[in-house]
Amino acid sequence: MAALEAELMKLVGELTPAKRIEGPALHRPFLLLWAVGKAVQGEVREHRWSTIRDALGPLMTTYLDVPASADQVLYPFWHLQGSGLWELADAESLTLTSNGRRPTLNALNSSDPVAGLTPSAYELLSTDPEMAARVASHVVSTFFNPPLPGFLEDLGLADLMADRIEDALRPQVGESFPNRNAISDAYGGNRVMGITPLRDRILSVYSDDEGPYQDAPINELGWIGYTGDGLTGHQQMVSGNRSLQAYQQQQRALRYWHKPDGGQWTFEAWVVVVQVRQRWGVGTDRLARREFVWVLAPVPSPLRNTWPADVLAALEEDDWTVRDDTEGIPAGGGPSDASSRRDRYRRLTAAAQRTADRRTRRSRLVEVERYYRSVSAREAVLIRSEDTCENRTCLGHPTERTDAGAAILEVDHVNPLARGGADTPEAMIALCPNCHALKTRGRNRKKLQSLLLKTARLRHEEFMSAAG
């Protein structure tokens, strides 16, 4: 039975609408839902062409906004056969059109053949309400999202679904697995790739804290910066990145899986892509490269009518273009002489200032812009610090290093952003953890903050002057 269920979900996941100039034609998914409704209501497996024509035609006009014509029903009645979910009796005896693509309307009307779900699909859907709900939920959330008022009732699915579309989908949010093999055994899909669909063809992205990518939450937003596909060299808009781009343009929800250090893989949330950016990163070959970062916003379910207002606003604002945070900034890891560092500092400062000058609106995507452009400002400050705490009165460990040899420094806004502080290098400073604590919570923090602001400005002027 498990194998039959897996095969059924695979076939349902592979169902795709025909592409037309005016948009995808949803005739085949619509007929499939109608057939599922008949199965769960205990009706016979096969139905006459005339029955399907007369029942489906008015519904398609109402919900698919297509002309009231038997030709509109003919299309899915014939072509759903290719899905492996539907069969048409005596199909070979029907007279076809001149191009041989489908039977003529006269042939169907005169012979009135029967058609319906395949026996295996019908057996599962008519006897297992959970499986029927899973199939219906997938089709509705993929193609009819959100369903129009009366949609489920007219297709005979209202009682089956009853506010449970998102609950019927599998896997459910919160499910955990020890490894990728276990996920694949349960729900199909590739066992290695980071951006890949499960058996039901809904895309999943995988984020491993122990992996090579720099995936991270975006400040207090609760959104996620997810690194694109490709381990070495400049990332291209192909493969997994192309799949994410398609979901971005379709404004469709995908699954986000996360594995903390030493933990298990967990289906953590449904997410939607609200923006894509390009930044400098380092590949597994330790060479600088341009990489994509996909901004993922968690949503309660794949149903659009459950998405928060700020996510919908971000989707409305997104124009699908790649926001280039590498423009005018040379890659890191180049020459380490003083002139190169100062030139890079100047370019990073310019990138941060360009964004600071544009901040006239308040929205989630503006906050994302602030976060990623402030990466330029933070990197500039770290270059300026020359791996040493910039507090001139530091009594802690100004030159301490990690096991990897990196400086233990925290870049901080001297005046917090929430209080109007600038997000540019002259208003930011690199501090050791001890000085950072003193600046934030110390008894004499006001005096120290004033001193640090003067220091930051002086250091900034020195570097900008030396860089010309």
Structural domain spans, the chain: 2-168, 170-326, 328-468
- At 270-292, the pLDDT tens digits run 999 999 999 888 888 888 888 99
Torsional sign, CA 208, 272, 308, 152: negative
- At 144-178, the pLDDT tens digits run 999 999 999 999 999 999 878 888 899 999 999 99
Residue type, 388: T
What's the alpha-carbon Rg for the chain, to the nearest Å? 29
Please report, for residues 86, 187, 363, 393, the alpha-carbon distance to residue 396 in angstroms, rounded to integers and kept in the order given: 73, 53, 39, 9
What are the residue ranges of helices labelled H in 93-128?
A: 105-111, 119-127
How does strand 114-117 pair with strand 195-197? unpaired
pLDDT at 54: 95
Taking alpha carbons only, the member of 62, 51, 284, 251 closest to residue 154 is 62
How does strand 46-48 pair with strand 288-299? unpaired
Q: Look at residue 294 and tell me whether its pLDDT is greater than 90.
A: yes
Pair of tokens at residue 146: 């959100």
Q: pLDDT averaged over the chain?
A: 88
Pair of tokens at residue 462: 């020195």
Residue bearing the bigger pLDDT, 109 or 325: 109
- At 325-371, the pLDDT tens digits run 776 555 554 445 666 777 778 877 877 776 666 555 567 787 787 67
d(CA 226, CA 292): 8
How does strand 86-88 pair with strand 114-117? antiparallel
pLDDT at 333: 46
* Local confidence band at 213 (pLDDT 50, 70, 90 cut-offs): confident
- At 248-260, the pLDDT tens digits run 999 999 999 999 9
- At 411-440, the pLDDT tens digits run 888 877 555 567 788 989 999 999 999 998
**Section 115-140 average pLDDT:** 95
CATH pick for 170-326 out of 2.30.30.140, 1.10.760.10, 3.30.360.30, 2.30.280.10: 2.30.280.10
* pTM, two decimal places: 0.77
* Local confidence band at 373 (pLDDT 50, 70, 90 cut-offs): low
% pLDDT > 70, the chain: 91
Taking alpha carbons only, the member of 407, 408, 335, 414 closest to residue 377 is 414
Please report, for residues 61, 252, 322, the alpha-carbon distance to residue 244 in angstroms, rounded to integers and kept in the order given: 32, 10, 12
The answer to whether the CB of 58 falls within 8 A of the CB of 30 is no
- At 80-105, the pLDDT tens digits run 999 999 999 988 999 998 888 899 99
- 321 SS3 class: coil
d(CA 344, CA 329): 7
pLDDT at 335: 43
pLDDT at 468: 57
Q: Look at residue 23 and tell me whether its pLDDT is greater than 90.
A: no
- At 223-272, the pLDDT tens digits run 999 999 999 999 999 999 999 999 999 999 999 999 998 899 999 999 99
pLDDT at 354: 66
